[in-house]
Structure 1
């Protein structure tokens, strides 16, 4: 029996920045995994492990995350160019792509660029709602008020990240992040690298990535992306996997998120009616953290779709 290929970490120069990559190697069909905003490639380690017997799995730190470099501003074309550079550098031939949250949005954009891609899976690749028309069934004034309340919470979170970690509090913050990740599934061992990988030192101070400059351009880029139009423009098979339940932090906005999920299903099915390459699958019992909740089930779902 041939020995299992060794997993190797690389740094790829993309022309715009550098991207950190982890490659399981081997001669199986290549599959690129993309994490969500605020994550890094280690968030995908458990999922990658469940896929490595069927695919050469390549995980990346998106720009401004993990061990990758920064972009001057978050631009979708620059991110996609960077992933093309990863594919070229590693000699991947028509990799399939699966992405969670932000990674799912990027995957959908990849599907508009790469008609020879065997398949893209977007795992709840949706930003937070931004407009009352995305909340069917809610009175527009009430919808606007709920959106204001939600985005005030996001602004508070962004402001908390816009300063270095106070001296002496790093261990406490690490423990809190670890607890937040493990509540969805897995063990502390599964998530320890994911917590540490987004820490960086700037002029002797510890910061958590993404840094304020990246956040300042990433959030409006996500909010302004017309995802139904992107999905409609897909040129390779695209599976839209949609969450059906709330994360704990979404529960104070349960009415808003229930309406938003209705809008996602309605618009996604309308897109699928127009573009036969698009499939829509609301996933029973799954939240936005579906990768952590059921990594085996998600691995099977991804592998089944991209190898049909």
Structure 2
């Protein structure tokens, strides 16, 4: 599948930028020019101006492989936000030679398995998940792209529910940038989101380097300069080690 792309230019090592669920390549317009290299962003299948297609992780990775080859991105650093951050781990498993992997708050769905929430009684987790799933159910009725087929497939995907088992297998240098603030949510859901973050801190694989940032899940638009600095430092430290 031929993906729509934006080449932000730049010289040096290539960067492949992957947006989050429901987003598109325009998400990187502020951050990408601040990267120390040649940055290219894509619209994933079913998003932006890329064609529609069923969501199969291997097929999505095939799309990215074809794009990298077509654009002559040789062993790119892969940076992804949210869904794109989950994909970075899968890319690195397929490409163990990947020089660096950066996930920007891409790790577990907000409605992950109840055991993945830390420090909150099980009954409160169950009640919070019921409320959050009801909100997501209502939102599904208003979204036209990506398709309901893609959204439904991703919502129950084991990899999106919890990408940490995938991340644990990655041998490439791996940085995960974790948001420390919640998106605007009803007050009664704040404890659930805090418990979600606590579970991530508890369960993160040892091979993943974690940096926290004063931002919400929308960090790419909120803190592009700080993120670019974190990414550039991480990548340069790998090459200069």
Asked if TM exceeds 0.5, the reply is yes
Whether the aligned pair in 2 keeps the contact of 1:111 and 1:238 (CA below 8 Å) is no
Quote how far apart the aligned CAs of 1:222 are: 6.0
- In the alignment, which residue of structure 2 is the partner of 1:91? 72
Deviates more, 1:84-93 or 1:209-218: 209-218
- In the alignment, which residue of structure 2 is the partner of 1:34? 18
Quote how far apart the aligned CAs of 1:209 are: 1.6
Whether the aligned pair in 1 keeps the contact of 2:86 and 2:160 (CA below 8 Å) is no
Whether the aligned pair in 2 keeps the contact of 1:120 and 1:237 (CA below 8 Å) is yes
User: What is the distance in 2 between the residues matched to 1:306 and 1:98?
Assistant: 11
Quote how far apart the aligned CAs of 1:251 are: 4.8
How big is each residue's C-alpha offset from its partner over 1:34-91, in whole Å with a ceiling of 9 and x where there is no partner?
A: 110010001111111222xx211010001100000112x2111111111111111111
Quote how far apart the aligned CAs of 1:26 are: 4.8
- In the alignment, which residue of structure 2 is the partner of 1:242? 178
Work out which of the residue numbers 97, 101, 120 in structure 2 matches 1:138: 120
**Change beyond 3 A, Cα 1:298–1:222:** farther
- In the alignment, which residue of structure 2 is the partner of 1:256? 192
**Change beyond 3 A, Cα 1:28–1:223:** closer
Question: Considering only CA atoms, is the larger Rg found in Structure 1 or Structure 2?
Answer: 1
- TM-score, normalised relative to structure 1: 0.73
- Structure 2 residue 12 is matched with structure 1 residue 82: no
User: What is the distance in 2 between the residues matched to 1:294 and 1:250?
Assistant: 24
Work out which of the residue numbers 127, 149, 154 in structure 2 matches 1:213: 149
- In the alignment, which residue of structure 2 is the partner of 1:9? none
User: What is the distance in 2 between the residues matched to 1:27 and 1:50?
Assistant: 12
Please state whether the residue corresponding to 1:31 is helix, strand or coil.
Answer: strand
Quote how far apart the aligned CAs of 1:18 are: 2.6
**Mapping of 1:289-304 within 5 angstroms?**
289-304=218-233
User: What is the distance in 1 between the residues matched to 2:99 and 2:159?
Assistant: 28
- In the alignment, which residue of structure 1 is the partner of 2:30? 46
User: What is the distance in 2 between the residues matched to 1:292 and 1:27?
Assistant: 23
How big is each residue's C-alpha offset from its partner over 1:109-146, in whole Å with a ceiling of 9 and x where there is no partner?
A: 11212122110110000321332211122221221111
Unaligned runs of 5+ in 2: none
Quote how far apart the aligned CAs of 1:298 are: 0.5
Whether the aligned pair in 2 keeps the contact of 1:132 and 1:140 (CA below 8 Å) is yes
**Change beyond 3 A, Cα 1:87–1:59:** same
Unaligned runs of 5+ in 1: 1-16, 162-207
**Change beyond 3 A, Cα 1:143–1:26:** closer
Whether the aligned pair in 2 keeps the contact of 1:111 and 1:237 (CA below 8 Å) is no
User: What is the distance in 1 between the residues matched to 2:182 and 2:112?
Assistant: 17
User: What is the distance in 2 between the residues matched to 1:231 and 1:104?
Assistant: 10
**Change beyond 3 A, Cα 1:102–1:212:** same
Please state whether the residue corresponding to 2:5 is helix, strand or coil.
Answer: strand
- Structure 2 residue 44 is matched with structure 1 residue 62: yes
**Change beyond 3 A, Cα 1:218–1:282:** same
Whether the aligned pair in 2 keeps the contact of 1:70 and 1:214 (CA below 8 Å) is no
